[in-house]
Structure formats: C-alpha cells, structure tokens
Amino acid sequence: MSAVAQEGVPRIASPLALRAVTLRNPIVVSPMCQYSAVNGGAVDGVAGEWHRVHLGRFAMGGAGLVFVEATAVTEQGRITPGDLGLWDDRQIPGLRAIATMLAEFGAVPGIQLGHAGRKAASQRPWQGHGPLGAADIARGEPPWPVVSARPLPVAEGWPTPRELDRDDLAALVEAWRAAALRALDAGFAVAELHCAHGYLLHQFLSPLSNRRTDGYGGDFEGRCRFPLEVAAAVRAAWPADRPLFVRISATDWVEGGWTLEDSVAFSRALAGIGIDVIDCSSGGMVGVSATAAAVPRHPGFQVPFAETIRREAGVATMAVGLILDGPQAEAILRDGRADLVAVGREALADPNWPLRARQQLTGAGDFAGWPEQAGWWLSRRARTLDHKTD
C-alpha cells in the first residue's frame, strides 16, 4: 500500500495504491444492507435498479472505493429476505452492471462476501428485526434453517442453529471461493470478507458463540481456524494484483468475549496469508443488532482499534464509526491512525460527503473532483452567494 502525495492536497483527497488498484482517495463507503433484492425471478438475491441508484450516487459523490452490501455466499447465509447473493451465476449480471457503473464514475467497485450463520432468517429492521414468523410467512417470506459453530441461538426466542460439521465447513469454504470468482467475473476490483457483527465467521472467532471441542473451537487457534481457511481460499482465488479486505469486530464489548488483543493476533495471521486491509468495526455478538452491547459511542470511537492493529499487527487498516467530517478524517490519516476511512450513515445523509469533506479543508470554492455537470452549477451558485457577477 502506498499513498500518492500531492502538494497542497489533503490526505483525504490524495490517491492511494492497493496492489495494482489505485483509489482516487482513501474515503470508502461501507457496505450497507438494503434488503431490497426482491425481483420475483427464478433466483433470489439479484441486484436491481434500487442498488444501481443507491450506489451510483456515492461514486458520483467522490468516494474512492464503494462497497456493495453484504452479499450472501449461500442462499442459507442471507441475513434477511431481499439480501444480495452470489451463490448462483444468474446473480452476476446485475452486479456486473453495478461494478461497471461505479468504475465509470471514478470509484473502485468493491463487494463484501458473508454468511449470517445463526443471525440468518431474520426480519428486515423496519419489519421488526426479529426472527421470521407468521407475518413474514403471510408475505411469502418464510424462514429457513440456520447454522452456526454451535447450537446456541443468537437470543431468546430465536431458532437454535444446527452445528456445522467438517463436511459443512469444507462446503462453505468452497462457497466463499466460488462467490469470489463470481465477484471477479462481475468486475469487482476489491473484495471483503465479513468477519464481524456476530455473523458466521465472527461466530467461530468469539468464545461467546464457539464452544466447540474439536479442531475448530476451544483455544484461540482453533476458533480462528475456519475464518483463516476461508480467507486463504479466497486469497488464492482472488487475483494477486487485487486487494482483499477483512472486516472484523475488534472487540465484542463483553467480558469473556473476543478482545482487541485477539484481533491483533488474528490480523497478523490474516496479513500472513495476504490480506491487505483490516476493516476495524466492533460489536454485534450479543443480541441481534450490531449495537446490542453497551458500547461507549462518540465520534471516532472505533479509531483506536484501527490504530492499534495497524501498529501492532503491521497491516493496513480502515477506520469506521462516527467519522463525521473532513477535518476529523484528515487527522486520522495524517496522524497515521489508519490508512483509509469509511463512512456509512454520513454518506446516506450526504452522498457528496467526500467532496464536501475536501471543501471543508480547502475552501467552499474548491470544486475539484465534482462531476462537471454539477460542479459548474455549484461554482456559479458560490459566486452568486459571494455577490459576484458572472
């Protein structure tokens, strides 16, 4: 990884090289589930017009890397009905259209590959965020069987997952590898493995959910074994000139759970098999939502995780979580606390966040990077507000 310095240009607006892929800047739009891949076709999980419009505005808004939401590697691995998938070749064309569009507007297209494990078969957040039930069946969205490291439900009232055996694990490693190859076929330049927020790979890592007694549980090495097998298989399938990220929950925020020290050791192992960037989130193991644990939230509350892992594991990191404006993002990069910064909800509120963040540092009259079709109008507006004549 290397930054391409430009005199007088903020770090948040400077190019960043990852293997053979160069981002126009180190601002990333995080994967955000849309629960909207419902098309009534022969296969579920197909991207549609909602996804094109939703993601396209981030590319036009100046982000260097735009991630497509968590995309299931098996049908059983969906979090909710309407999740995107890459378990079937018929899901490739819709995602190819998105990857092509993102690249045309200057953003590097990325995709996150995951499996929900015991948190699968749940309702969309605005429909209750609980396990699928009678109302969902009436809508034509019945539940499906869930799986995990151990037969421990995610919360009271949730289904008990089936424990995955070794044949299941081998099949899932292959499912991740196959999904990565489909993502490559679709034109994505960056892939990320979802190892966070209480989903399947995190369920193997955390001692709160993985109480196996075989080689895939027990001590730290056993609990890391399956996630590392997945990472190694995807890295082998993913081209050597394209970067691979892993999103982790740096801590469970719960006594007896996964810790930052665990994350440092796990990140060293990931770096050893060729993972390029550790995406440092947290939480999600306790309860259903990623915010169920008592988390001390404040601006940049997860940045120390990225800083510690970057320093102690010797791997590039991405900071995420309540990064609110340009000066804050610039300071994170300038001070060497992370190599990239990611925004999610802030980008939803303002898809032009990367461009506005630059303006906060260089002046409201700086329209560098804006699409010509918008920058021309906005520069004229700025002159008008300054009471200048055309």
φ, ψ (nearest 5 deg) of residue 341: -125, 140
CA torsion 36-117-265-171 (nearest 10°) is -100
Respond yes or no: is residue 199 known to be catalytic: yes
Cα(142)–Cα(157) distance, integer angstroms: 16
Q: Where are the alpha helices (DSSP H) in the chain?
A: 49-60, 92-104, 134-138, 166-186, 200-205, 220-237, 260-272, 303-313, 326-334, 345-349, 353-362, 372-385
Closest to 183 measured CA to CA, from 234, 115, 246, 241: 234
Strand bridging mode 16-18 / 21-23: antiparallel
Q: In the chain, what is the straight-line distance between the N-terminal and C-terminal CA atoms, in Å?
A: 44
Active-site pick, 87, 105, 176, 199: 199
Whole-angstrom CA distances from 312 to 32, 259, 308, 338 are 29, 14, 6, 12
User: What are the structure tokens assigned to 243, written together?
Assistant: 């970067």
**Residues forming the active site:** 199
